[in-house]
């Protein structure tokens, strides 16, 4: 237990039939999780440096992750983190579809370089899934005793 309890923030996507059922978790689930949990916690923590362990196995077409994220959301997440703290280090973690790994890496780098990327029309109309929203709610409930920003 100790001083670090509550500092690790993990948002488990608790999906019926497993989180790797392709298409069950979408870009807007990640956007919502960032808006409700990730960004508020990072702001409250007030870190001097953000380290991104960039894993692209959640991208559409990856044989392992099967989460179905687009390259756009990786750009959006990186840009969102830069807005909180421009001191960022990125390290490659994974991704097993080389075509999508390349697109994800390009998306992160373009955000780091300050390039803009429009949201694709098919993603702009997405709403977070009920499974994604429930996972976010459960995570906030579990972590609110450690983070003031998650209390409401």
Domain assignment present for residue 113? The answer is yes
Domain that holds residue 45: 27-147
Domain assignment present for residue 9? The answer is no
pLDDT at position 16: 61
Domain assignment present for residue 67? The answer is yes
Structure tokens at 54: 């960039």
H helix intervals, the chain: 27-33, 39-45, 71-84, 98-112, 121-124, 130-143
Q: What is the tens place of the pLDDT at every residue in 103-123?
A: 999 999 999 999 999 999 999
**Structure pTM?**
0.91
Place of tokens 């373009």: 110
Q: What is the tens place of the pLDDT at every residue in 39-82?
A: 999 999 998 999 999 999 989 888 887 788 999 999 999 999 99
Domain assignment present for residue 65? The answer is yes
Domain assignment present for residue 20? The answer is no
Radius of gyration of the chain measured on its C-alpha atoms: 15
Domain assignment present for residue 78? The answer is yes
Domain assignment present for residue 60? The answer is yes
Cβ-in-10-Å burial (0-12, 13-18, 19+) of 112 comes to middle
Domain assignment present for residue 3? The answer is no
Q: How many domains, in total, are found in the chain?
A: 1
């Amino acid at each position: 237990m100790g001083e670090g309890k509550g500092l690790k923030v993990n948002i488990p996507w608790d999906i019926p039939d497993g989180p790797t059922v392709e298409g069950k978790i979408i870009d807007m689930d990640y956007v919502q999780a960032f808006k409700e949990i990730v960004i508020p916690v990072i702001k409250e923590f007030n870190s001097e440096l953000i380290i991104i362990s960039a894993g692209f196995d959640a991208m559409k077409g990856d044989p392992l992750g099967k989460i179905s994220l687009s390259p756009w959301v990786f750009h959006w997440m990186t840009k969102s983190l830069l807005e909180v703290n421009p001191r960022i280090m990125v390290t490659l973690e994974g991704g097993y579809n080389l075509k999508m790994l390349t697109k994800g890496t390009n998306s992160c780098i373009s955000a780091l370089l300050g390039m803009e990327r429009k949201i694709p029309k098919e993603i702009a109309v997405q709403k977070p899934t009920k499974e994604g929203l429930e996972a976010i709610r459960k995570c906030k409930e579990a972590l609110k005793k450690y983070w003031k920003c998650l209390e409401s």
